[in-house]
Chains A and B, each alone.
Chain A
């Protein structure tokens, strides 16, 4: 248990080291951290790497706005979404788009565990849920 706690703390510090000056996780920083880990050769190297990967994924998910839409969005709209959520969460948010035809029309944005839905199917679903 104590060992797990130390590994967790180490993984969190590594994630912090993986961020650039803006607080965004960058590939270059992650490469540097991995190189450092390779040099240090921690006694529980694999465990540290797994923990680091988990926290890194969570951090990337927190910094990524997954915009689901049935059709392609304009770059301006994506920029607006990035700017809005960057301001809203107080950290750099980058938007990536995915195609989801089940939405019919509109967009659905995932930021970490948060979901913002402005799709036709979502509205219809909420309408159905509100009918009692």
Chain B
């Protein structure tokens, strides 16, 4: 902006400079031109300047005024505007940079989100597989336990049945033996004669008498 202003200032002052240089050139060569009779071009310019009312003091004053106005404008108008524009441009650049950063961050966040979703899907699948495996193992374990319990129950029932059978058999045997003994006692008591009893008692006494020897 500053360069633009300076360029504009030079562009405006250039014709005046050219004009003044031409005018000086005309003044220095007036005599020669008069002599040579070739004062046609310089005379036209001077004539035009005269027609437009351009005189050296006025031109210098205008140049000074112009410079003063230019300086004042530069100082109090162009400079704040330039600063404002620079600040605005900086803000825009910052905003664009911020937008770019945000875009990059958004892309990164999107990628991260996608990765996390992928990881979560993998984890979920893994957990699902583990749960299936565990449930399968648990089912097998429970099945085995149930089979073992059933087998134990059957075995206990079989043992109980066997014990009950043995007990009943023993009771039957004992009862039969008791009946046999009772019957035998009655039969022997009734059928043995006194002589036979005495003979058996003598024999038993001798048996006991010789038992310790």
**Which single residue of chain A is at the shortest CB-CB distance from B201?**
A69
A88 CB contacts on chain B under 8 angstroms: 212
**Are A125 and B205 closer than 8 Å at their CB atoms?**
no
- Asked whether any CB of chain A lies closer than 8 Å to the CB of B208, the reply is yes
Q: Which of B26-34, B97-105, B151-159, B192-200 contacts A (4 or more CB under 8 A)?
A: B192-200
- Asked whether any CB of chain A lies closer than 8 Å to the CB of B185, the reply is yes
A118 CB contact (under 8 Å) in B177, B185, B208, B213 = B208
> Residues on A close to B: CB < 8 A?
67, 69-74, 77-78, 80-81, 83-85, 87-88, 101, 104-107, 109, 116, 118-121, 124-125, 127-128, 131-132
> Residues on B close to A: CB < 8 A?
170, 173-174, 176-178, 180-181, 184-185, 188-189, 192, 194, 196-198, 200-202, 204-213
Known contacts A73-B202, A121-B185, A128-B181; is-contact A84 B192 (Cβ 8 Å): no
**Which single residue of chain A is at the shortest CB-CB distance from B189?**
A104
B170 CB contacts on chain A under 8 angstroms: 132
The tally of CB-CB contacts under 8 A between chains A and B is 87
A77 CB contact (under 8 Å) in B180, B194, B196, B205 = B205
Min C-beta distance of A122 to chain B, whole Å: 10
Question: Once the chains are docked, how many angstroms separate the CA of A131 from the CA of B180?
Answer: 11
**Are B177 and A109 closer than 8 Å at their CB atoms?**
no
